[in-house]
């Protein structure tokens, strides 16, 4: 009996010793957030809106998918995603499947744009229905549920926008946000929402980073070999959605029904939260960091685009930003994703490269005063 008990005890010890510990970054994060808490997080964490020189309706980074394969290595679903800007974040989010994501941008208009996306993603039945609502164009006929992104945009390229659909969709978006969710959008927010949605109506699948209101669906664009119209030197929404990584795999959130459902589920659970904040500000990033530490959560990835470039041009804003990043809970796997212009180290076809960098290593360089220029940041990236 004593021998049996000893064997059992040793088995229990071995099980405890060798049972994998759940990743720290999955600890106490909510699986769903109420509408009231979602809106309260936006209000409590946000700073006053600031200025940026472009509306930035879509990305101008053609190769932002190139880092996804490496980014996913040894990173199971869960954790925390932070990002900036419009919907390129969605492609990173569906790849990483975080437990929660915060999009932090200095423009309040970007927050409103993400709420527009939230409404459209939540009320749409599938990718075709989403694009029909996003661009206010009638649904193409006979599109299978498993249609490729190329097939989707080829079909929508031949359909004209419909003003009546636009009016109906805009009303549905506003009602969904303000009545179903109960979000307290101001009159200025509603005007901003109409402005953003008008850009998608006028630009359609040809909408680009440099699009200007009143430019129209045919403004400053040229037709490419696959039938899509792209603005010169800037990728269009359609081009970004049919783009691939360096191995030829399309990883966009509209690449397939599975990716779309991942994003749709995050939105419906209120765990993709847009915040108004300055990277160098005193509130937004630190508030997110406080929240994550209370949840015992760890940042998996932080997409900064090329914001750091601007921060190094604005006195010591770069130093304030990295001081803010120091307040975020990170580990050795926490990674910056950034976009940089081609140079002697990074040569690309499109003129911009997407790169990765250890947040921990960069902060070590910052603390030891070995980081004093944007060039140093680039050279730490790969």
How much is the pLDDT for 165? Answer: 97
Whether 83 contacts 89, CB under 8 Å: yes
| Banded model confidence at residue 38, pLDDT cuts 50, 70, 90 | very high
Question: For 78-92, how does the pLDDT look when each residue is reduced to its tens digit (9 = 90+)?
Answer: 999 999 999 999 999
314-349 pLDDT, tens digit each:
899 999 999 999 999 999 999 999 988 755 454 444
Q: Are 253 and 263 in contact (CB under 8 A)?
A: yes
- The segment with the largest mean pLDDT, out of 135-144, 236-245, 259-268, is 259-268
Question: Is residue 221 very low, low, confident or very high in pLDDT (cuts 50, 70, 90)?
Answer: very low
Mean pLDDT of 46-62: 85
Q: What is the pLDDT of residues 157-206, one digit of tens each?
A: 989 999 999 999 999 999 999 999 999 999 999 999 999 999 999 999 99
How is residue 380 written in tokens? Answer: 């730490």
Q: What pairing do the DSSP bridges indicate for beta strands 352-358 and 335-341?
A: antiparallel
What are the Cα distances from residue 138, in Å, to 98, 118, 133?
Answer: 33, 20, 8
Give the separation between CA 75 and CA 176, rounded to whole angstroms.
34
- Pick the closest to residue 75 from 98, 54, 53, 91 (CA basis): 98
pLDDT at 145: 85
Is residue 214 over pLDDT 80? no
CA angle 284/117/226 to nearest 5° reads: 120
Q: Which of 197, 186, 173 is nearest to 55 (CA)?
A: 197
* pLDDT band per the 50, 70, 90 thresholds, residue 372: confident
Q: pLDDT at position 75, please?
A: 82
Mean pLDDT, the chain, rounded, equals 86
pLDDT-based confidence at residue 126 (cuts at 50, 70, 90): very high
């Amino acid at each position: 009996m004593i021998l049996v008990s000893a064997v059992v005890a040793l088995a229990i010890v071995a099980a405890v010793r060798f049972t994998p510990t759940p990743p720290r970054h999955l600890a106490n994060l909510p699986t769903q957030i109420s509408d009231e808490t979602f809106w309260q997080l936006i209000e409590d964490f946000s700073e006053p809106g600031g200025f940026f020189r472009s509306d930035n309706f879509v990305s101008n980074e053609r190769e932002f998918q190139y880092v996804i394969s490496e980014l996913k290595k040894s990173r199971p679903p869960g954790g925390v995603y932070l990002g900036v800007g419009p919907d390129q974040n969605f492609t990173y989010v569906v790849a990483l499947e975080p437990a929660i994501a915060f999009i932090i941008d200095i423009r309040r208009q970007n927050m409103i744009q993400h709420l527009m996306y939230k409404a459209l993603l939540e009320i749409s039945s599938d990718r075709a229905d989403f694009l029909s609502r996003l661009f206010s164009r009638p649904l193409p006929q006979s599109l299978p549920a498993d249609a490729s992104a190329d097939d989707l945009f080829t079909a929508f390229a031949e359909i004209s926008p419909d003003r009546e659909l636009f009016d109906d969709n805009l009303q549905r978006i506003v009602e969904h946000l303000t009545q179903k969710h109960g979000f307290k959008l101001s009159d200025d927010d509603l005007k901003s929402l109409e402005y953003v949605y008008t850009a998608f109506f006028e630009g359609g699948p040809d909408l680009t980073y440099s699009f200007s209101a009143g430019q129209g669906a045919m403004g400053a664009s040229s037709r490419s070999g696959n039938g899509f119209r792209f603005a010169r030197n800037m990728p269009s929404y359609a081009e970004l959605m049919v783009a691939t990584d360096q191995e030829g795999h399309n990883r966009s959130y509209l690449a397939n029904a599975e990716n779309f459902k991942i994003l749709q589920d995050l939105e419906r659970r209120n765990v993709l939260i847009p915040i108004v904040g300055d990277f160098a500000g005193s509130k937004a990033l630190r508030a997110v960091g406080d929240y994550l530490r209370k949840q015992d959560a760890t940042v998996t990835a932080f997409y900064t685009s090329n914001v750091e470039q601007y921060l190094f041009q604005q006195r010591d804003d770069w130093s304030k930003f990295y001081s803010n990043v120091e307040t975020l809970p990170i580990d050795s796997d926490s990674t910056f994703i950034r976009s940089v212009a081609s140079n002697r180290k990074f040569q690309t076809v499109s003129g911009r490269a997407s790169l990765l960098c250890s947040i921990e290593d960069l902060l070590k360089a910052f603390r030891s005063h070995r980081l004093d220029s944007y060039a140093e940041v680039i050279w730490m990236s790969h």
